[in-house]
Copies of this chain bind each other. A is one copy, B any other.
Amino acid sequence: MPKHRFVTIKDIAKVLKISVSTVSRALRDTYDVNQETRTKVMEAAAQMNYKPNYNAIGLAKGSSHNIGIVIPFITNYYFSTVITGIQEVAFSKGYNIILFISNDSPERELSIIQDLSISNLDGLMVTISSDSDSCEHFQKIIDQGIPVVFFDRVANKIKTSKVMQDDFYGAIEAVEHLIENGYKKIAHIAGPKGLIFTERRLQGYLGTLKKNDLPIREEWIIHSGFSQVHGEEDTRQLLNLDERPDAIFAVNDRKAIGAMLVLKTNKIAIGKDFGVVGFTNDPMSTIISPALTTIAEPALEIGRKSCELLIKHILKKNFIFEEVIIPGRLIVRESTNRHFIA
């Protein structure tokens, strides 16, 4: 099993009896090269199955063609879909994506960033972990001149491009929908405090209640984690209240599903007596019964857009920051249907 030496531009140059720089220029479509020469080079390259050595290019140009993704998990619908979107555009533009999974732990996130030999990355896309209060490690990277774009869970203080779903308006739609269907005592099981999108969904919830002259009760707003178990716990807490709510707007589908499970064990008729709406449009929301009403997040678009933006930053040194907000859409299912019968 011999380790082949790969074809290099030198080989091409030798075969064609021209210089390596001409080959290099021809291959890269630089303008100051004879059309004829270029054609010859291209043909030779194709025929000899030439593949560029990115290590060499990276070394010479001071850039790899790699972009990093730092993400809490990939084992959920939203994140894995975002990554799919990222990968799609990265691949089409000749970039590799390198995956770093933080497990939603700020320490691990920090260690990833510090271990990172930045010289190996042209740019970075990140969703910060739930309670990464300090973001200076990202600032440091930006200061070193490597572009960073945040998506989904963005760091507030850092000035760079960000792409998010429309959390505020999504929350409004969700709560309006609940109100339209006659639910009046609407609780919100939220994400951890401090995260921008948690905050925006909360604001949308609050604003809509206010606008509709509905009571805002502090006990009906619970902050905790994003998991299904958190949703279950929050809901149990809600059901123990003297004044029980009659609907839940959950910060995401996982928590909404946790809520539904608890409601079901408590024999509360979801839809008829108690409304539930989530946020994500995880495929699970169609599997559970009753099917979950939710705000569909544009995960694929978020991934694509983030990647496009990052590549723009990589290409144009002083590309100005953009904050992109992509709308979601309400998907009405059974969990807010007063007439649903199991």
Residues in A lying within 8 Å of B, measured CB to CB: 1-4, 6, 51-56, 58-59, 64, 66, 73-77, 80-81, 83-84, 87-88, 91, 96-101, 112, 116-120, 142-145, 257, 283-284, 287-289, 318, 342
Contacts and interface: CB of A to CB of B under 8 A. Distances in A.
A99 B96 CA distance: 7
Q: In the complex this chain forms, how many copies of it are found?
A: 2
A142 B1 CA distance: 8
A118 B73 CA distance: 28
Given A97-B99, A101-B87, A119 B75 contact: no
A285 to B, nearest CB: 9
A98 B91 CA distance: 11
Q: Which of A88, A97, A116, A119 has the most CB of B within 10 A?
A: A119
A100 B95 CA distance: 11
A55 B74 CA distance: 27
A64 B98 CA distance: 13
B73 A145 contact: no
Contacts of A77: 75
A120 B58 CA distance: 11
Contacts of A142: 1
B145 A2 contact: yes
Given A3-B145, A75-B80, A287-B288, A54 B100 contact: no
Q: Which of A74, A77, A81 has the most CB of B within 10 A?
A: A74
